[in-house]
């Protein structure tokens, strides 16, 4: 289930869960005070370590999306080795 984090100027960050991609938008209404809340994009250099960790825990699937390229590169290297076991040793 996709979830998106927004930041209300009055209430702070909140995360909404959606059944589809309908939540993938720049702004939404704060569920608490009904003011406009801007989408929060997770750029690691903008956050402290504790914020990054708490965001990862809250958002669950997000860290996997951020590291997919790195995982793909590692898997590719592993696969090459596994396909040529006769070259190892
Ligand atoms: Zn609010």
Residue 2 Cα, ligand 1 centroid: separation in angstroms? 21
pLDDT exceeds cutoff 60 at 50: yes
Give the containing element (helix H, strand E) for 74: helix 68-83
CB contact burial 44-61 (16+ within 10 A = b; e otherwise): eeeeeeeeeeebeeebee
- How far does residue 19's CA lie from ligand 1's centre (Å)? 22
Pick the CATH number of 1-41 from 3.40.50, 1.10.3470, 2.20.28, 1.10.357: 2.20.28
Task: Give me the pLDDT at residue 46, please.
Answer: 47
CA of 86 to the centre of ligand 1 (A): 61
Residues 52-83: tens digit of each pLDDT: 666 666 666 555 565 667 666 665 555 555 66
The beta strand positions in 1-89, using DSSP E, are 3-8, 12-17, 27-29, 36-39
Q: Domain map of the chain by residue range? A: 1-41, 47-84
User: What are the structure tokens assigned to 66, written together?
Assistant: 């951020």
Q: What is the model's pTM?
A: 0.44
Instruction: Check whether 3 has a pLDDT greater than 70.
Output: yes
Helix (H/G/I), strand (E/B), else coil: 16: strand
Quote the ligand 1 centre to 44 CA distance (angstroms): 24
**Are 7 and 13 spatial neighbours (Cβ–Cβ below 8 Å)?**
yes
- What single DSSP character describes residue 20? S
């Amino acid at each position: 289930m996709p979830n998106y984090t927004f930041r209300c100027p009055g209430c702070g960050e909140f995360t909404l869960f959606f059944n589809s991609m309908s939540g993938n938008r720049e702004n939404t209404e704060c569920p608490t005070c009904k003011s406009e809340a801007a989408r929060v994009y997770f750029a690691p250099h903008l956050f402290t370590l504790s914020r990054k960790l708490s965001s990862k825990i809250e958002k669950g699937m997000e860290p996997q999306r951020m590291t997919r390229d790195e995982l793909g590169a590692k898997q590719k290297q592993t696969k090459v080795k596994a396909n040529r076991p006769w070259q190892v040793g």
